[in-house]
Chain A
């Protein structure tokens, strides 16, 4: 196999393998760029319960450990994040691609509110788009993180192999140079002037 053929085949097969991710990132980006307005006044959350609850949150505590305990005490496990907007509140956000539940603990009132996210295609796609990282204690979650990295590397490979394949097509060099050059020029203008 020649280098030329290897680069061409890598471009195609990598694209075919990563097509679901690529299309997902493309379509979901639309919802970030054009967030739908909620005019019906309906909340995206449905309260599951609100009840007295007490858990110690010492200064400088490991919030993930506390989050794990809150989830375990409510029979849940899986991916989650924690957020402490102020000294009183602690948010524990549990999620998978389809569902999300948020626990909001108030240290002052010693109460816990649990609410479930109402499913919507918008949040389904944007949630999938935003998912990444290696913070969860789950091999499968880390696997998704690796897939995200592969998509990024794939995009870099498509650029490199794409430019290589374009350069081989002599009749397209003029218009190709114009497209590539004007793209970089406009991008640099944005960097300076935005």
Chain B
């Protein structure tokens, strides 16, 4: 019964988390060959194109923090969600980077003339994969972001579980013990070799 529980958990968890594993495998490969991919996407693969320009009708209090100003602007634009911000609301300009898996946006607010320039990042698969790989953590004030961060944590727990439950399931298959020990030993030896030589 215990063995069956381990096997079923190993399998169903893997089926459920297939999209995450797929994205982490592809993104790691893209990041491992970043220099090669520059041939296709250029030295700076992150490019923005202007989407719209408008007068901002709201008022940002001069004593607002950059974060408060960004939250207000994003709320007014109906684009609430995870972001980072540069600059100050009482300075030359405030630049808000609204994170999004597929089409991130850069919103530039000029307090002097109350102008908003909205740009979207030009899509390319390499930066999309890297964005997905790096998205994690509970630092944002949005429930959906926390849910994504929780799913990342689930993948972390699952990876450890797959490793350990895989060992358990392999050991139960007597016929595979010989070659299995050889594979495991070779892997551990090669890993240790790298650890002390590079």
Contacts of B1 in A (CB 8 A): none
Considering the chains assembled together, what is the distance between the CA atoms of A9 and B180 in angstroms? 9
Kindly state whether residue A45 has any CB partner on chain B within 8 Å: no
Are A194 and B18 within 8 A (Cβ)? no
Pick the contact of B28: A134, A148, A186, A194 (CB < 8 A).
A148
**Nearest-CB residue, chain A, relative to B136:** A33
Are A186 and B151 within 8 A (Cβ)? yes
Contact stretch, chosen from A46-54, A82-90, A115-123, A173-181: A173-181
From DSSP, what is the main secondary structure of chain B's interface residues?
helix
Contacts of B12 in A (CB 8 A): 172, 175-176, 179
Instruction: Report the interface size class on chain B.
Output: 35 or more
Are B187 and A33 within 8 A (Cβ)? no
Contact stretch, chosen from B69-77, B110-118, B165-173: B165-173
Considering the chains assembled together, what is the distance between the CA atoms of A132 and B130 in angstroms? 14
Are A12 and B180 within 8 A (Cβ)? yes
Are A17 and B187 within 8 A (Cβ)? yes
Are B162 and A22 within 8 A (Cβ)? yes
CB distance from A111 to the nearest CB of B (A): 29
CB distance from B128 to the nearest CB of A (A): 10
Contact stretch, chosen from A68-76, A100-108, A154-162: A154-162
Cβ proximity bits A1-44 to B, threshold 8 Å, 1 near / 0 not: 00000000100111111111111111101101111000000000
**Nearest-CB residue, chain B, relative to A182:** B16
Kindly state whether residue A66 has any CB partner on chain B within 8 Å: no
Are B11 and A176 within 8 A (Cβ)? yes
Are B8 and A172 within 8 A (Cβ)? yes
Considering the chains assembled together, what is the distance between the CA atoms of A105 and B99 in angstroms? 34
Are A187 and B20 within 8 A (Cβ)? yes
Are B180 and A16 within 8 A (Cβ)? yes
Contacts of A12 in B (CB 8 A): 166, 170, 173, 176, 180
- Besides the known contacts A134-B35, A153-B25, A194-B144, 11 further A-B residue pairs in the complex with CB atoms under 8 A apart: A12-B173, A12-B176, A13-B176, A13-B180, A134-B36, A163-B18, A176-B11, A179-B15, A183-B17, A187-B20, A191-B102
**Pairs A–B under 8 Å by Cβ, sample size 22:** A9-B179, A13-B176, A18-B187, A21-B187, A21-B191, A22-B162, A32-B136, A32-B137, A78-B198, A132-B31, A133-B35, A134-B32, A134-B35, A143-B198, A148-B32, A159-B14, A159-B25, A179-B16, A190-B101, A190-B151, A192-B102, A194-B144
